[in-house]
Structures are given as C-alpha cells and as structure tokens.
Amino acid sequence: MASAQVLVVDDEPDIRGTVKEILEDEGYSVIVAENAAAAREARRQQRPDVILLDIWMPDLDGISLLREWSERGGLPCPVIMMSGHGTIETAIEATRLGAYDFIEKPISLAKLLLTIERALEAQRLKRENEDLRQQVSVPLEPVGSSKAMQALRAQLDRLAQHDTWVLIQGEPGTGKEALARYLHEKSARHDGPFVTVAPGAISREHAAQALFGAEDTNGVQYGLIEQANGGVLFLEEVADLDPELQLRLSSVLERRSLLRTGGREAVPLNLRVIAASAQDLEALAKAGKFREELYYQLKVVPISVPPLRERPEDIPELLRFFADFFPNRDKLPYRHFPVGVQNRLRNYPWPGNIRELRNLVQRLLILGQAGDVELIEVEQALGNAVAPKTPREIDSGIDMNLPLREAREQFERAYLLRQLQEAGGSVGKLAKVVGMERTHLYRKLRDLGVDVRTSGKEE
C-alpha cells in the first residue's frame, strides 16, 4: 500500500519545514500549504489521508476553513488542529465541526506522531465498519474442500502476492465479492480501502459524478474511484456500466489517473482493480455491447467461480458454516442438518448458488424449532423458493398449533413475500402498500429472513 499522505497547513515556514521533514522520515508522504488558498488547491489536487491544520492564519483562520470543508460535502479525512494559543471554546468548536484532535504548539514530536497514527487507525476502523455493514452474509474465506475450491483458493493465494488486476466471472450468487475481499485481505494492500462500485445501484444522471468525482468553486467531491486510492476498486457487475462510462473508465485505467467532472488537472491513481460479472463479457465485447479495450484491461488474470451444483460435496460444509453463523450473529437457535437432509440438498440444482443456500438455512432456523432439520421442512422451503404460493396456499400454510407470536411471524413472512412478489421486488412499492416506513420495513424483512434480492430488484 502507498504511504499515507499528510497535508500540513501552517503559515509559519519553520513549522511547515520541520513537520514535513519529521513526517517524511517516518515514511509519510507530505504536502505543505502556507494558507487557506494553498490548502484548498492541495486538497483539490489530491485527496489527503490526514490534514494538520493551523488555527491562526492571516488570510482565513483554520476554524473557518474547517467549517467550509465541513459544510461543503463533509471532511475528506481526519483533521488535526494545531494552535499555540487556543482556547477551550476554540477546541470545542473544532470538535463540533468534525476535527479529530487538537495539538498545542510547540508541538511534541511524540504526541504528533501518535495522534496521526491514531487518526489513521480510526479512519481505517470506520471504513472497515462501513464495509462490514455493506457485506452480504457470506464467509470471507472460500468454504469447501472440493478440488474446484482447493484450486480456487490456491489461485487467489498466488494472486494475493501480486498487484495484478483480476476479472472474476461466475453465476449470480456464487460469492464473487467475497472472493474479491478475500484476495484484498491477503494482499499487501489489506490496510487500504476496499471500495465497491455497483453500477446498477447508481442513477444514470449521477453516475459520472459518483464514479469520477466533481469539483467547482464550491469545493471538491471525491468519487468512488478516487476513494479507492491505495487500496482496491471492486467493480460489481461491470457489464451494467453504460457505454459512455465504459469509455471514460477505460481512459482512466489506461492513464492511471482521472479528471474529475469540472476539474482542470488529472489526479494520479494507485489502486488495484478487481472486476466481476455474471455475464459473458467476451461475448458482449464481440457483439459490440461492451467496450473491447475495457474488457482486455480488466482481464489481466481471469478467475472462473464454479456454480454450487458443480461442487455438491461442498454443501455439507456450507450448511455447517451457516448453521453456526446465524446463531452467532442473529441469536437464532442452532439446528443440525442430518445426513438425509444433506443428501437431499446435495442433489438440488441451486439456481441461486451460495446466496440461495444461505437464505434457505436462515429461513429454516427462523421458522423451525431447535433440533434436527426435518426433510419435510426442506421440501416445503425449496418449494417456496421455486414456486410462489397463491393467497389461498399462504393462508393454509400457517401451523395453527404454534404459539400466537410464532404463528404471527409465519403470517407476516408469507404476507410480505406475497406483497413483495406483487410489487415486482420493489421495497419502495412494498412500503407504500403495507404502510410501513422503509427503514422499519427493511428491518422487518431481515428479521423474517426475507431476502429482497431473490424476489426481484430493489428500487
């Protein structure tokens, strides 16, 4: 990973020079600015990892500059304030505006280095927490002892020793993002960011700005590509990019630099690109539906992920993993999958691959009682997965011998599944139909084990 970049903003040349020399000796990349105007320009040219900002400067004080950054799109990174004669009120105001910490002058070398180190660590942990909230519930390390999975793990381990770009291809639900994260964690860039770009989730009118960033007289917005600097840019289902964005992305990857929307100067990039697709990109490129140059840029090393039906010997291991995972994460009851049930699931074709298996296990843990999973439960669950019930079937599917709370949960799940199917998988439409606030509805669907991705597309 590239060394962290520190922007030092101070109007005193001696302090700028001393701090720059000290930090460079510690392995940091340092940019200096003598006033607010120079700081704005330095921040525009490249996104820093930490900013050291003096409070008292002649043109514009540090608190005002901090407020400006905070109100125009938020702080790009941790900001550490510096002052030789600060007050408690000043420190409180800086903290309110988002400053990470406050250092008094004359600066203590030990405290300066420790504060920067803690700020970078806090930023890393914040990024990891955000990543974890976005991840689906799949294991980071590929699960399975089949020859196919052993070969896949060995290939990923080899690639982790290099910084080459990778194209992961496989059917929907095979866990391509989890493999990309595994590759990232094993690589030398593991301390850097892992930024996911999901083209299908970005509106067309805002796609260029979201990807490449923007700048104008009001400030700078760092796009997803620039946010991945020093780490990994993961392009999820890259075939969903429209032709114009494919062309612009190809140019960015070729030059290893990007020009923000409205920008004047190119920003250098140092990142690894991992792309994924469930579609045949080569066929799309030959048909003129995907830019051929971008295809070859991404396909430095191709990886093919086998579908679950081609490695049925891994199913018992996956069942054990998720049967442990959900009780630990969601406090669900542990349930055992007997050999007979395992054999039935080994012979199921799994059109939804690992995602479908994960959802099945979660559903069986939520709806069943503690103990062994019975074959009839599995058959009913598989039938629900492939053949949506009619309203009459839903009504008759509730076990009237259950306690009221559990029977109500069965009804709520069946009702929401039916309404979600009627809404074409749109959670936005579902929220209007059932009269629930969208955030509460997401929580209810998650608690009931309903995965909207297997019921259609979200809005």
For residue 164, what is the domain's CATH number?
A: 3.40.50.300
Nearest to residue 168, comparing CAs of 245, 236, 231, 240?
A: 236
Q: Does some domain include residue 330?
A: no
Q: Are 143 and 314 in contact (CB under 8 A)?
A: yes
- Stronger pLDDT, 21 or 204, i.e. the higher one: 21
Query: Are both 270 and 342 inside the same structural domain?
Result: no
Task: Give the separation between CA 44 and CA 145, rounded to whole angstroms.
Answer: 49
Lowest mean pLDDT: which of 45-49, 80-84, 125-129? 125-129
Answer with the residue of higher pLDDT: 389 or 319.
319
pLDDT band at 130; cut points 50, 70, 90: low
Q: What's the pLDDT tens digit per position in 391-441?
A: 444 444 566 666 766 777 777 778 788 888 777 778 877 877 776 777 778
Cα separation, 164 vs 26, whole angstroms: 28
Domain boundary among 306, 328, 362: 306
Closest CA to 234 of 181, 296, 285, 174: 181
Return the ∠ at Cα 120 (arms to 116 and 257), rounded to 5°. 115
319-329 residues labelled b (16+ CB within 10 A) or e (exposed)? bebbbebbeee
> What was the pLDDT predicted at 300?
95
- Lowest-confidence region among 172-181, 253-262, 341-350, 447-456: 447-456
CA atoms of 262 and 267, how far apart (whole Å): 13
Counting residues of the chain whose pLDDT is more than 70, the rounded percentage is 89
Q: Which of 213-227, 280-294, 437-451 has the highest mean pLDDT?
A: 280-294
pLDDT in tens, 142-154: 899 999 999 999 9
Tell me: the pLDDT tens digits for 366-380? Answer: 988 778 999 888 988
How many domains does one find in the chain? 3
Instruction: Quickly state the pLDDT bin for 180 (edges 50, 70, 90).
Output: very high
Average pLDDT, the chain: 85
Contacts of residue 33, defined as CB under 8 A and 6 or more positions apart, other chains included, come to: 7, 8, 9, 39, 41, 42
Could you tell me if 163 and 261 lie in one domain? yes
The H or E element containing residue 233 is: strand 232-235
- Quick one: tokens of 175? 């866990």
Q: Which residues pair with 214 in a beta bridge?
A: 221, 261
Dist CA 416 CA 407 (whole Å): 14
Q: pLDDT band for position 387 (50/70/90)? A: very low
Question: Of 87, 111, 133, which residue sits at a domain end?
Answer: 133
Residue 90 is part of which domain span?
5-133
pLDDT at 168: 97
In-domain check, residue 323: no
For residue 136, the model assigns a pLDDT of: 44
Closest CA to 212 of 250, 252, 247: 252
In this structure, the answer to whether residues 147 and 129 fall within a common structural domain is: no
Q: Is residue 329 part of a domain?
A: no
The residue among 139 and 191 whose pLDDT is bigger is 191
Residue 138: inside a domain, yes or no? no
Count CB neighbours of 169 within 10 A.
19
Average pLDDT in the 85-114 region? 83
Q: How confident is the model at residue 199, as a pLDDT?
A: 87
Cβ–Cβ under 8 Å, residues 272 and 234: no
Token look-up 């469930």 returns 278
Single residue among 133, 154, 184 that ends a domain in this structure: 133
What pLDDT is attached to residue 222?
86
User: Residues 301, 152: one domain?
Assistant: yes
Closest by Cα among 416, 409, 359 to 386: 359
CATH of the domain at 18: 3.40.50.2300
> What separation, in Å, do the N-terminal and C-terminal C-alpha atoms of the chain show?
36
Residue 319 lies in a domain: no
- Which pLDDT score is estimated for 410? 79
For residue 65, tell me if it sits in a domain.
Answer: yes
| Higher local confidence (pLDDT), 21 or 415 | 21
**What's the average model confidence in pLDDT over 91-96?**
81
